[in-house]
Amino acid sequence: MDTASANDFDIRDYLRVELLPHFMCPGCGHGIALRALLWAVHDLKLAKDRLAIVSGIGCSGRVGAYIDANTFHVTHGRPLAFATGLALARPDLEVIVITGDGDCLAIGGNHLIHACRRNLHLTCLMFNNEIYGMTGGQVSPTTADDRLTTTTPYGNAEPSFDACALAAAAGASFVGRGMTLQTVALKNLIRDAISHRGFSFVEVISDCTEIFGRKNDLGSSPEMILRQKGSMKPDTYGNVVDRPFRPNAVQTGVLARNDRPEYGDAYRAAVLGAAGAAVAG
C-alpha cells in the first residue's frame, strides 16, 4: 500500500505553491515531517476543505502556512488552546496542530497537559529539534544534556523533557514518536494518529542543522539524520536497528493507546440529555 500511495502522491497537490520557495534552512528536518503529514492526509483521502491546521510560533509554526487547507497561525504556546475551541465547535473538521518543542512544552505546557486530559478529537504533532531555532538558538525543554545553545554557552545542565511520557501520564489516548530518518514509518504513525478517535500526540524527532547542528559540531544534514538511527529501539512498525542501543535510546512507534470517551461526544450527549430532561419536565 505504501508503494501504491507513493506513486500517486504529489506533495504539490497539498501545498500553496505560490508561497514557494519555503523559508526553511537547507537540511531542516521539518520539511521531511511536512511531507510525512501530507502523505498521511493523502492516504486517508481527507478533503482539503475538511482539514484545519493550527500552528504557533517558531520554525514549526511557520510550516503550516504552506499547506493548502484551512490554516490558523496563533500566538506563542496557544495552538492547542485554539484548536480545542475549533474542534469542539466544528466536529466536522479534522483538526491538526503543528507545534514545536518550545511552543508546546515551555509556554504551552499547561495547554498540552489539559488537552491530553480532556481527550478531544484532534492530533498534535510536536516537531522536536531541541532548540528555539527561529529566535536565535536558545535552550528548549528538550535540549539534550551538555548541548551548547546561545543561552547555555557552557553546556545544558538541565535534563531533557520526555514529552511522550508526559502526554501518556496526562491521559492522551494515543501517544507516538517518529523520526524524520524513516519517512514511511512516520507517515504511517501520523495516519494512525489522525484516525484515532480522541486526542493524539505524536513527537517527531527532527533536526535543526544551521542553528543547533553547527553550534554542536554535529556534521552535515545527512550526518545529523543518520545519528537518529543510533538512538532508536525497535518500534511497533517493525523498524530494524543494526547497531547496539545507546544508553539514551528512545522508543519509536505507538507508545500508548487506549479507547475512552471523546470529550466532544460526551459533551454533546450531556447537553442533549439535559435538553431532553428539561422538555420532559
Residues 6 or more apart whose CB falls under 8 angstroms from that of 33 comprise: 63, 125, 127, 180, 186, 204, 206
Q: Give the rounded percent of residues in the chain with a pLDDT score beyond 90.
A: 77
Q: Convert the chain into a string of H (helix), E (strand) and C (coil).
A: CHHHHHHCCCHHHHECHHHCCCCCCCCCCHHHHHHHHHHHHHHHCCCHHHEEEEECCCHHHHHHHHECCEEEECCCCCHHHHHHHHHHHCCCCEEEEEEEHHHHHCCCHHHHHHHHHHCCCEEEEEEECCEECCCCCEECCCCCCCCCECCECCCCCCCCCCHHHHHHHHCCCEEEEEECCCHHHHHHHHHHHHHCCCEEEEEEECCCHHHHHHHCCCCCHHHHHHHHHCCECCCCCCCCCCCCCCCCCECCEEEEECCCCCHHHHHHHHHHHHHHHHHHC
Residue type, 217: D
Q: Indicate the domain borders of the chain.
A: 2-280
Q: pTM value?
A: 0.90
pLDDT at 2 over 60: no
Phi, psi of 146 (to 5 degrees): 70, 0
- Distance of alpha carbon 59 from alpha carbon 72, whole angstroms: 15
pLDDT at 185 over 90: yes
pLDDT tens track for 33-88: 999 999 999 999 999 999 999 999 999 999 999 999 999 999 999 999 999 999 99
pLDDT band at 152 (very low <50, low <70, confident <90, very high): very high
Least confident range from 10-24, 52-66, 92-106, 222-236: namely 222-236
pLDDT band at 3 (very low <50, low <70, confident <90, very high): low
Is the CB of residue 262 less than 8 Å from the CB of residue 242?
no
pLDDT at 244 over 60: no
pLDDT at 142 over 90: yes
**Residue 246: its pLDDT value, please?**
38
pLDDT band at 250 (very low <50, low <70, confident <90, very high): confident
**Residue 5: its pLDDT value, please?**
63
- Distance of alpha carbon 200 from alpha carbon 215, whole angstroms: 33
User: What average pLDDT does this structure show over 135-150?
Assistant: 93
Range 2-280: architecture per CATH = 3-Layer(aba) Sandwich (3.40)
Is the CB of residue 163 less than 8 Å from the CB of residue 100?
no
* Chain-centre distance for alpha carbon 22: 19
Is the CB of residue 245 less than 8 Å from the CB of residue 103?
no
pLDDT tens track for 190-216: 999 999 999 999 999 999 999 999 999
